[in-house]
Amino acid sequence: MMLVQTRVAPSPIHGMGLFASQFIPRGKAIWRFEEGFDRDFSPAQLRSLPASAQEHIHWFAFVRKEDGHAVLSGDHACFMNHSSVPSTGATAQAGSVTTVALRDIAEGEELTCNYFEFDADAPRKLGKQS
């Protein structure tokens, strides 16, 4: 669940992107998994869904490296694009994962993350670039 104000708009990186609608100071939490709002699908649960639902999840979710679960955000966090020099990153805190600003992010700036740090499906999504 996004914890800061954002908007989706055309991205110079790829298709649509996620942009800050406010100044975000370094270290501020910007996303965390929120049970009941975001979804966590085990590989078996994912396989049990209709093909169209599986396709949607494969496109918009990330695959957690630890257990192969597909994590689907309930909001527009799925529009955050990849960068090898990202503006956000994940920190582990007491059993949960929170994404924070790695540096100050200006209002209007595109939020980025490094898919390879958390998404087991990053090579497929990005054509194996780093």
* Element at 126 (helix H, strand E): helix 122-126
Q: Report the pLDDT value the prediction gives residue 96, as an integer from 0 to 100.
A: 65
The whole-number pLDDT of residue 97 equals: 76
| Angle at alpha carbon of residue 80, lines to 77 and 87, rounded to 5° | 115
pLDDT score recorded for residue 73: 95
> What pLDDT does 47 receive?
97
Long-range contacts of 6-12 (CB under 8 A, 24+ apart): 6/76, 6/111, 8/76, 8/79, 11/81, 11/110, 12/110
Q: What is the pLDDT of residue 19?
A: 98
The reported pLDDT for the residue numbered 127 is 86
* CATH number for the domain whose boundaries are 6-125: 2.170.270.10
Q: Which phi and psi angles does 45 have, rounded to 5°?
A: -65, -40
DSSP-derived letter for residue 2 is B
pTM of the model: 0.90
Quote the distance between the C-alpha of residue 108 and its chain's center: 18
The ranges of the chain with pLDDT < 50 are: none
- Residue 56 is predicted with a pLDDT of 95
pLDDT for the residue 92: 64
